[in-house]
Structure 1
Protein backbone atom coordinates (compact mmCIF):
# COMPACT_ATOMS: atom_id res chain seq x y z
CA UNK A 1 0.00 0.00 0.00
CA UNK A 2 1.45 3.32 -1.08
CA UNK A 3 0.77 5.19 2.14
CA UNK A 4 3.29 7.19 4.20
CA UNK A 5 3.57 6.36 7.89
CA UNK A 6 3.78 10.07 8.79
CA UNK A 7 6.60 9.37 11.21
CA UNK A 8 9.52 9.89 8.85
CA UNK A 9 11.95 8.15 11.21
CA UNK A 10 12.53 5.18 13.43
CA UNK A 11 12.16 5.45 17.19
CA UNK A 12 15.91 5.84 17.55
CA UNK A 13 15.92 8.75 15.11
CA UNK A 14 13.25 10.83 16.83
CA UNK A 15 14.62 14.00 18.36
CA UNK A 16 11.58 15.08 20.35
CA UNK A 17 11.47 14.05 24.01
CA UNK A 18 8.50 11.79 24.67
CA UNK A 19 9.15 10.85 28.31
CA UNK A 20 7.16 12.45 31.12
CA UNK A 21 7.68 12.09 34.88
CA UNK A 22 4.76 12.70 37.22
CA UNK A 23 6.07 12.80 40.77
CA UNK A 24 5.04 14.90 43.75
CA UNK A 25 8.08 14.03 45.80
CA UNK A 26 11.23 16.07 45.19
CA UNK A 27 13.36 13.04 45.99
CA UNK A 28 12.02 11.04 43.03
CA UNK A 29 12.34 13.96 40.64
CA UNK A 30 15.93 14.76 41.63
CA UNK A 31 17.11 11.14 41.54
CA UNK A 32 15.20 9.60 38.63
CA UNK A 33 14.76 12.75 36.55
CA UNK A 34 18.47 13.12 35.64
CA UNK A 35 18.73 9.39 34.85
CA UNK A 36 15.86 9.65 32.35
CA UNK A 37 17.18 12.88 30.87
CA UNK A 38 20.66 11.44 30.28
CA UNK A 39 19.22 8.43 28.46
CA UNK A 40 16.47 10.06 26.39
CA UNK A 41 17.79 13.57 25.89
CA UNK A 42 15.41 15.18 28.33
CA UNK A 43 12.33 14.66 30.46
CA UNK A 44 9.19 16.65 31.16
CA UNK A 45 8.37 16.83 34.88
CA UNK A 46 4.86 17.34 36.24
CA UNK A 47 3.66 17.77 39.82
CA UNK A 48 0.40 15.95 39.23
CA UNK A 49 -1.72 14.06 36.72
CA UNK A 50 -3.87 17.17 36.32
CA UNK A 51 -0.77 19.20 35.39
CA UNK A 52 0.17 16.56 32.79
CA UNK A 53 -3.33 16.55 31.29
CA UNK A 54 -3.35 20.33 30.96
CA UNK A 55 0.19 20.60 29.57
CA UNK A 56 0.25 17.72 27.09
CA UNK A 57 -1.96 17.48 23.97
CA UNK A 58 -4.35 14.54 24.08
CA UNK A 59 -3.18 13.30 20.67
CA UNK A 60 0.51 13.22 21.63
CA UNK A 61 2.37 9.98 22.33
CA UNK A 62 5.13 8.78 24.63
CA UNK A 63 5.73 7.30 28.07
CA UNK A 64 4.63 8.48 31.49
CA UNK A 65 6.50 7.38 34.60
CA UNK A 66 3.94 7.86 37.34
CA UNK A 67 4.83 7.89 41.02
CA UNK A 68 1.99 6.49 43.10
CA UNK A 69 1.36 8.64 46.21
CA UNK A 70 1.85 7.34 49.74
CA UNK A 71 -1.81 6.37 50.06
CA UNK A 72 -1.16 3.88 47.23
CA UNK A 73 -3.97 5.16 44.99
CA UNK A 74 -3.59 4.51 41.25
CA UNK A 75 -6.50 6.62 40.03
CA UNK A 76 -4.07 8.72 38.00
CA UNK A 77 -3.10 5.78 35.81
CA UNK A 78 -6.68 5.25 34.70
CA UNK A 79 -7.18 8.97 34.04
CA UNK A 80 -4.11 9.14 31.79
CA UNK A 81 -5.18 6.04 29.88
CA UNK A 82 -8.58 7.63 29.21
CA UNK A 83 -7.43 11.12 28.20
CA UNK A 84 -4.07 10.31 26.55
CA UNK A 85 -4.38 6.90 24.83
CA UNK A 86 -1.13 7.40 22.91
CA UNK A 87 0.91 7.13 26.12
CA UNK A 88 2.24 4.01 27.81
CA UNK A 89 2.41 4.01 31.60
CA UNK A 90 5.18 2.85 33.88
CA UNK A 91 4.24 3.09 37.56
CA UNK A 92 6.52 3.27 40.57
CA UNK A 93 6.08 3.66 44.33
CA UNK A 94 7.91 3.54 47.62
CA UNK A 95 7.28 0.17 49.30
CA UNK A 96 4.09 -0.54 47.32
CA UNK A 97 1.45 -2.93 48.53
CA UNK A 98 0.67 -5.96 46.37
CA UNK A 99 -2.83 -4.64 45.67
CA UNK A 100 -1.33 -1.39 44.42
CA UNK A 101 0.74 -3.24 41.83
CA UNK A 102 -2.26 -5.29 40.69
CA UNK A 103 -4.49 -2.20 40.43
CA UNK A 104 -1.84 -0.30 38.45
CA UNK A 105 -1.53 -3.12 35.91
CA UNK A 106 -5.29 -3.40 35.65
CA UNK A 107 -5.45 0.36 35.03
CA UNK A 108 -3.25 -0.09 31.99
CA UNK A 109 0.31 0.25 33.28
CA UNK A 110 2.90 -1.45 31.06
CA UNK A 111 5.29 -2.00 33.95
CA UNK A 112 5.73 -1.42 37.68
CA UNK A 113 8.87 -1.20 39.79
CA UNK A 114 9.37 -0.34 43.48
CA UNK A 115 11.63 2.44 44.73
CA UNK A 116 14.49 2.67 45.16
CA UNK A 117 15.32 0.95 41.87
CA UNK A 118 18.63 0.36 40.07
CA UNK A 119 19.19 2.53 37.01
CA UNK A 120 19.16 -0.40 34.51
CA UNK A 121 15.71 -1.47 35.77
CA UNK A 122 14.32 2.03 35.29
CA UNK A 123 15.78 2.40 31.80
CA UNK A 124 14.68 -1.09 30.70
CA UNK A 125 11.09 -0.47 31.82
CA UNK A 126 10.91 2.91 30.11
CA UNK A 127 12.52 1.64 26.89
CA UNK A 128 10.05 -1.25 26.61
CA UNK A 129 7.14 1.12 27.17
CA UNK A 130 8.55 3.68 24.73
CA UNK A 131 8.82 1.08 21.95
CA UNK A 132 5.21 0.05 22.54
CA UNK A 133 4.12 3.69 22.46
CA UNK A 134 6.03 4.23 19.22
CA UNK A 135 4.40 1.20 17.60
CA UNK A 136 1.00 2.48 18.62
CA UNK A 137 1.84 5.93 17.27
CA UNK A 138 2.80 4.50 13.86
CA UNK A 139 -0.40 2.42 13.70
CA UNK A 140 -2.49 5.44 14.60
CA UNK A 141 -0.88 7.66 11.98
CA UNK A 142 -1.38 5.01 9.30
CA UNK A 143 -4.98 4.62 10.44
CA UNK A 144 -5.59 8.37 10.27
CA UNK A 145 -4.15 8.57 6.74
CA UNK A 146 -6.15 5.57 5.53
CA UNK A 147 -9.31 7.00 7.07
CA UNK A 148 -8.64 10.37 5.42
CA UNK A 149 -8.45 8.74 2.00
CA UNK A 150 -11.58 6.65 2.51
CA UNK A 151 -13.54 9.72 3.55
CA UNK A 152 -13.03 11.19 0.07
CA UNK A 153 -15.25 8.48 -1.45
CA UNK A 154 -18.83 9.20 -2.36
CA UNK A 155 -21.61 7.09 -0.85
CA UNK A 156 -21.87 4.90 -3.97
CA UNK A 157 -18.09 4.49 -4.18
CA UNK A 158 -18.14 3.41 -0.54
CA UNK A 159 -20.87 0.89 -1.30
CA UNK A 160 -18.65 -0.62 -3.98
CA UNK A 161 -15.63 -0.53 -1.66
CA UNK A 162 -17.46 -2.41 1.10
CA UNK A 163 -18.16 -5.25 -1.32
CA UNK A 164 -14.74 -5.20 -2.99
CA UNK A 165 -12.96 -5.82 0.31
CA UNK A 166 -15.14 -8.88 0.94
CA UNK A 167 -13.76 -10.42 -2.25
CA UNK A 168 -16.79 -9.98 -4.49
CA UNK A 169 -16.22 -9.55 -8.22
CA UNK A 170 -17.52 -6.61 -10.24
CA UNK A 171 -20.27 -8.82 -11.70
CA UNK A 172 -21.39 -9.90 -8.23
CA UNK A 173 -21.36 -6.29 -7.01
CA UNK A 174 -23.37 -5.19 -10.04
CA UNK A 175 -26.08 -7.75 -9.25
CA UNK A 176 -26.14 -6.87 -5.55
CA UNK A 177 -26.33 -3.09 -6.08
CA UNK A 178 -28.57 -3.23 -9.13
CA UNK A 179 -25.98 -1.55 -11.34
CA UNK A 180 -24.51 -2.38 -14.69
CA UNK A 181 -21.14 -4.10 -14.83
CA UNK A 182 -19.71 -1.07 -16.63
CA UNK A 183 -20.93 1.29 -13.88
CA UNK A 184 -19.34 -0.85 -11.17
CA UNK A 185 -16.07 -0.89 -13.09
CA UNK A 186 -16.24 2.91 -13.24
CA UNK A 187 -16.76 3.18 -9.47
CA UNK A 188 -14.03 0.61 -8.89
CA UNK A 189 -11.58 2.71 -10.87
CA UNK A 190 -12.63 5.79 -8.91
CA UNK A 191 -12.04 4.00 -5.60
CA UNK A 192 -8.56 2.94 -6.71
CA UNK A 193 -7.71 6.46 -7.92
CA UNK A 194 -8.92 8.24 -4.79
CA UNK A 195 -7.27 5.85 -2.34
CA UNK A 196 -4.05 5.57 -4.34
CA UNK A 197 -3.94 1.76 -4.34
CA UNK A 198 -2.98 -0.55 -7.20
CA UNK A 199 -4.67 -3.80 -6.19
CA UNK A 200 -7.51 -5.30 -4.18
CA UNK A 201 -4.95 -6.58 -1.67
CA UNK A 202 -3.71 -3.02 -1.09
CA UNK A 203 -7.28 -1.80 -0.79
CA UNK A 204 -8.00 -4.44 1.85
CA UNK A 205 -4.91 -3.39 3.81
CA UNK A 206 -5.96 0.25 3.70
CA UNK A 207 -9.49 -0.66 4.76
CA UNK A 208 -8.10 -2.63 7.72
CA UNK A 209 -5.65 0.15 8.62
CA UNK A 210 -8.47 2.70 8.81
CA UNK A 211 -10.08 0.56 11.50
CA UNK A 212 -6.93 -0.42 13.38
CA UNK A 213 -7.14 2.43 15.90
CA UNK A 214 -9.84 2.33 18.64
CA UNK A 215 -11.09 5.88 17.99
CA UNK A 216 -11.91 5.18 14.32
CA UNK A 217 -15.19 6.74 13.28
CA UNK A 218 -17.00 6.66 9.99
CA UNK A 219 -17.02 10.22 8.71
CA UNK A 220 -19.10 12.05 6.16
CA UNK A 221 -18.75 11.19 2.50
CA UNK A 222 -18.44 13.62 -0.35
CA UNK A 223 -21.48 14.04 -2.52
Structure 2
Protein backbone atom coordinates (compact mmCIF):
# COMPACT_ATOMS: atom_id res chain seq x y z
CA UNK A 1 0.00 0.00 0.00
CA UNK A 2 1.33 3.46 -0.92
CA UNK A 3 2.17 5.99 1.79
CA UNK A 4 -0.44 8.52 2.89
CA UNK A 5 0.00 12.29 2.53
CA UNK A 6 -2.25 14.60 4.56
CA UNK A 7 -2.89 17.73 2.50
CA UNK A 8 -4.14 20.95 4.11
CA UNK A 9 -5.18 23.48 1.47
CA UNK A 10 -7.06 26.69 2.19
CA UNK A 11 -9.37 28.32 -0.32
CA UNK A 12 -6.90 31.16 -0.98
CA UNK A 13 -4.16 28.94 -2.40
CA UNK A 14 -2.54 30.38 -5.52
CA UNK A 15 -1.44 26.90 -6.56
CA UNK A 16 -4.52 24.71 -6.41
CA UNK A 17 -4.45 20.99 -6.98
CA UNK A 18 -1.70 19.92 -4.53
CA UNK A 19 -3.90 17.00 -3.51
CA UNK A 20 -4.35 15.90 -7.14
CA UNK A 21 -0.65 16.33 -7.88
CA UNK A 22 0.36 14.14 -4.95
CA UNK A 23 -2.15 11.45 -5.89
CA UNK A 24 -0.94 11.50 -9.49
CA UNK A 25 2.52 10.66 -8.20
CA UNK A 26 1.28 7.47 -6.56
CA UNK A 27 0.55 8.57 -3.01
CA UNK A 28 -2.73 8.19 -1.20
CA UNK A 29 -4.02 11.48 0.18
CA UNK A 30 -6.42 12.80 2.77
CA UNK A 31 -7.51 16.39 2.21
CA UNK A 32 -8.35 19.01 4.86
CA UNK A 33 -9.81 22.44 4.21
CA UNK A 34 -8.09 24.15 7.15
CA UNK A 35 -5.59 23.76 9.97
CA UNK A 36 -8.49 23.49 12.42
CA UNK A 37 -9.86 20.53 10.48
CA UNK A 38 -6.65 18.49 10.66
CA UNK A 39 -6.16 19.47 14.31
CA UNK A 40 -9.64 18.19 15.14
CA UNK A 41 -8.65 14.73 13.92
CA UNK A 42 -4.92 14.36 14.56
CA UNK A 43 -3.55 11.88 11.97
CA UNK A 44 -2.40 8.48 13.14
CA UNK A 45 1.36 8.18 12.58
CA UNK A 46 1.64 4.39 12.83
CA UNK A 47 2.36 4.12 9.10
CA UNK A 48 4.75 6.17 6.96
CA UNK A 49 3.19 9.50 6.01
CA UNK A 50 3.63 13.26 6.16
CA UNK A 51 1.61 16.49 6.17
CA UNK A 52 1.67 19.13 3.43
CA UNK A 53 0.12 22.37 4.66
CA UNK A 54 -0.56 25.68 2.96
CA UNK A 55 0.33 28.25 5.62
CA UNK A 56 -1.31 31.13 3.75
CA UNK A 57 -3.36 31.79 6.85
CA UNK A 58 -3.10 33.91 10.04
CA UNK A 59 0.34 33.83 11.73
CA UNK A 60 -1.09 32.43 14.95
CA UNK A 61 -2.20 29.23 13.20
CA UNK A 62 1.36 28.09 12.37
CA UNK A 63 2.81 27.76 15.89
CA UNK A 64 -0.53 26.44 17.12
CA UNK A 65 -0.51 23.73 14.46
CA UNK A 66 2.93 22.44 15.46
CA UNK A 67 2.25 22.81 19.18
CA UNK A 68 -0.98 20.83 19.06
CA UNK A 69 0.48 18.14 16.81
CA UNK A 70 3.39 17.78 19.25
CA UNK A 71 1.13 17.67 22.31
CA UNK A 72 -0.95 14.99 20.61
CA UNK A 73 2.22 12.89 20.24
CA UNK A 74 2.35 13.15 16.44
CA UNK A 75 5.80 13.01 14.87
CA UNK A 76 4.64 13.30 11.27
CA UNK A 77 6.99 15.48 9.17
CA UNK A 78 5.30 18.69 8.00
CA UNK A 79 6.06 20.42 4.68
CA UNK A 80 4.86 24.01 4.46
CA UNK A 81 3.84 26.04 1.40
CA UNK A 82 3.60 29.82 1.65
CA UNK A 83 2.87 32.78 -0.60
CA UNK A 84 5.85 34.50 -2.27
CA UNK A 85 5.50 37.54 -0.03
CA UNK A 86 4.94 35.53 3.13
CA UNK A 87 8.49 34.46 3.95
CA UNK A 88 8.06 35.49 7.61
CA UNK A 89 5.41 32.83 8.14
CA UNK A 90 7.66 30.29 6.45
CA UNK A 91 10.49 31.15 8.82
CA UNK A 92 8.11 30.76 11.77
CA UNK A 93 7.12 27.35 10.42
CA UNK A 94 10.74 26.18 10.13
CA UNK A 95 11.48 27.39 13.65
CA UNK A 96 8.39 25.56 14.87
CA UNK A 97 9.67 22.30 13.38
CA UNK A 98 8.65 22.12 9.72
CA UNK A 99 10.49 19.48 7.70
CA UNK A 100 10.67 21.73 4.63
CA UNK A 101 9.35 25.04 3.35
CA UNK A 102 8.55 26.33 -0.15
CA UNK A 103 7.19 29.60 -1.47
CA UNK A 104 4.49 29.27 -4.12
CA UNK A 105 4.34 28.51 -6.91
CA UNK A 106 6.58 25.52 -6.17
CA UNK A 107 7.86 23.22 -8.91
CA UNK A 108 6.00 19.91 -8.80
CA UNK A 109 9.26 17.94 -8.92
CA UNK A 110 10.66 19.82 -5.92
CA UNK A 111 7.55 19.22 -3.86
CA UNK A 112 7.42 15.49 -4.67
CA UNK A 113 11.13 15.08 -3.85
CA UNK A 114 10.50 16.79 -0.50
CA UNK A 115 7.52 14.49 0.17
CA UNK A 116 9.57 11.41 -0.77
CA UNK A 117 12.32 12.55 1.61
CA UNK A 118 9.92 13.32 4.46
CA UNK A 119 8.16 9.97 4.16
CA UNK A 120 11.48 8.08 3.97
CA UNK A 121 12.62 9.84 7.15
CA UNK A 122 9.35 9.11 8.91
CA UNK A 123 9.47 5.45 7.83
CA UNK A 124 13.03 5.13 9.17
CA UNK A 125 12.10 6.85 12.44
CA UNK A 126 9.06 4.58 12.82
CA UNK A 127 11.16 1.46 12.22
CA UNK A 128 13.73 2.60 14.76
CA UNK A 129 11.02 3.36 17.31
CA UNK A 130 9.51 -0.07 16.65
CA UNK A 131 12.86 -1.72 17.37
CA UNK A 132 13.20 0.33 20.55
CA UNK A 133 9.72 -0.68 21.74
CA UNK A 134 10.58 -4.33 21.08
CA UNK A 135 13.87 -3.98 22.99
CA UNK A 136 12.09 -2.37 25.96
CA UNK A 137 9.55 -5.19 25.98
CA UNK A 138 12.30 -7.82 25.92
CA UNK A 139 14.05 -6.04 28.79
CA UNK A 140 10.94 -6.63 30.90
CA UNK A 141 11.44 -10.38 30.47
CA UNK A 142 14.58 -10.32 32.60
CA UNK A 143 14.36 -11.58 36.17
CA UNK A 144 15.57 -9.30 38.97
CA UNK A 145 18.94 -11.08 39.14
CA UNK A 146 19.32 -11.09 35.34
CA UNK A 147 18.67 -7.34 35.32
CA UNK A 148 21.35 -6.86 37.99
CA UNK A 149 23.81 -8.80 35.84
CA UNK A 150 22.76 -6.77 32.80
CA UNK A 151 23.30 -3.47 34.65
CA UNK A 152 26.82 -4.49 35.72
CA UNK A 153 27.87 -5.93 32.36
CA UNK A 154 26.90 -2.78 30.45
CA UNK A 155 29.21 -0.83 32.80
CA UNK A 156 32.10 -2.98 31.60
CA UNK A 157 32.32 -5.31 34.60
CA UNK A 158 33.91 -8.72 34.01
CA UNK A 159 32.23 -11.94 35.19
CA UNK A 160 34.50 -12.10 38.23
CA UNK A 161 33.64 -8.53 39.22
CA UNK A 162 29.92 -9.15 38.68
CA UNK A 163 30.10 -12.29 40.83
CA UNK A 164 31.86 -10.38 43.63
CA UNK A 165 29.35 -7.50 43.47
CA UNK A 166 26.38 -9.87 43.64
CA UNK A 167 27.88 -12.32 46.11
CA UNK A 168 27.66 -15.30 43.79
CA UNK A 169 29.93 -17.46 41.61
CA UNK A 170 31.33 -16.78 38.14
CA UNK A 171 29.57 -19.89 36.88
CA UNK A 172 26.21 -18.54 38.05
CA UNK A 173 26.98 -15.14 36.49
CA UNK A 174 27.82 -16.82 33.17
CA UNK A 175 24.47 -18.66 33.27
CA UNK A 176 22.57 -15.43 33.99
CA UNK A 177 24.52 -13.60 31.31
CA UNK A 178 23.64 -16.29 28.77
CA UNK A 179 19.93 -15.91 29.63
CA UNK A 180 20.19 -12.12 29.33
CA UNK A 181 21.68 -12.39 25.84
CA UNK A 182 19.10 -15.00 24.87
CA UNK A 183 16.09 -12.99 26.09
CA UNK A 184 17.33 -9.74 24.53
CA UNK A 185 18.20 -11.55 21.27
CA UNK A 186 21.75 -10.19 21.42
CA UNK A 187 24.91 -12.05 20.42
CA UNK A 188 27.75 -10.05 21.96
CA UNK A 189 28.60 -7.70 24.83
CA UNK A 190 29.21 -4.94 22.27
CA UNK A 191 25.62 -5.33 21.04
CA UNK A 192 24.44 -5.41 24.65
CA UNK A 193 26.14 -2.10 25.44
CA UNK A 194 24.88 -0.60 22.18
CA UNK A 195 21.32 -1.65 23.05
CA UNK A 196 21.61 -0.14 26.55
CA UNK A 197 22.93 3.09 25.06
CA UNK A 198 20.03 3.34 22.58
CA UNK A 199 17.58 2.77 25.44
CA UNK A 200 19.22 5.57 27.43
CA UNK A 201 20.25 3.20 30.22
CA UNK A 202 23.92 4.16 30.27
CA UNK A 203 23.01 7.64 31.46
CA UNK A 204 22.02 6.06 34.76
CA UNK A 205 25.02 3.74 35.08
CA UNK A 206 27.83 4.58 37.46
CA UNK A 207 31.23 5.21 35.81
* TM exceeding 0.5: yes
Residue 112 of structure 1: how far off its partner (Å): 0.5
Query: SS where residue 152 of structure 2 aligns?
Result: helix
Does residue 1:194 correspond to 2:183, yes or no? yes
Higher Rg: 2
Does residue 1:42 correspond to 2:25, yes or no? no
Please say if residues 45 and 76 of structure 2, whose CA atoms lie closer than 8 Å, have aligned partners that are also in contact: no
Q: 1:22 to 1:116 in 2, by over 3 A?
A: same
**What is the CA–CA distance in structure 2 between the aligned matches of 1:207 and 1:50, rounded to whole Å?**
41
Q: Which has the higher contact order (CA 8 A, sep 6+)?
A: 1
Does residue 1:167 correspond to 2:156, yes or no? yes
**What is the CA–CA distance in structure 1 between the aligned matches of 2:81 and 2:21, rounded to whole Å?**
15
Q: 1:208 to 1:186 in 2, by over 3 A?
A: same
Please say if residues 159 and 173 of structure 2, whose CA atoms lie closer than 8 Å, have aligned partners that are also in contact: yes
Q: Where does residue 81 of structure 2 map in the other structure?
A: 92
Q: 1:174 to 1:37 in 2, by over 3 A?
A: same
Higher mean displacement: 39-48 or 133-142? 39-48
1:52 to 38, 42, 54: 38
Query: SS where residue 87 of structure 1 aligns?
Result: coil
Residues 3-152 of structure 1 correspond to what in structure 2 (within 5 A)? Answer: 15-25=1-11, 27=13, 30-53=16-39, 54=41, 56-57=43-44, 59-73=46-60, 74=62, 75-152=64-141
CA offsets 1:75-116 (integer angstroms, 9 cap, x no match): 212322342443111111223533312211111101101122
Query: SS where residue 109 of structure 1 aligns?
Result: coil
**What is the CA–CA distance in structure 2 between the aligned matches of 1:34 and 1:169, rounded to whole Å?**
61
Q: Where does residue 179 of structure 1 map in the other structure?
A: 168
Aligned length: 198
TM-score in terms of structure 1 length: 0.77
**What is the CA–CA distance in structure 1 between the aligned matches of 2:165 and 2:21, rounded to whole Å?**
63
Gaps of 5+ in 2: 202-207
**What is the CA–CA distance in structure 2 between the aligned matches of 1:89 and 1:143, rounded to whole Å?**
24
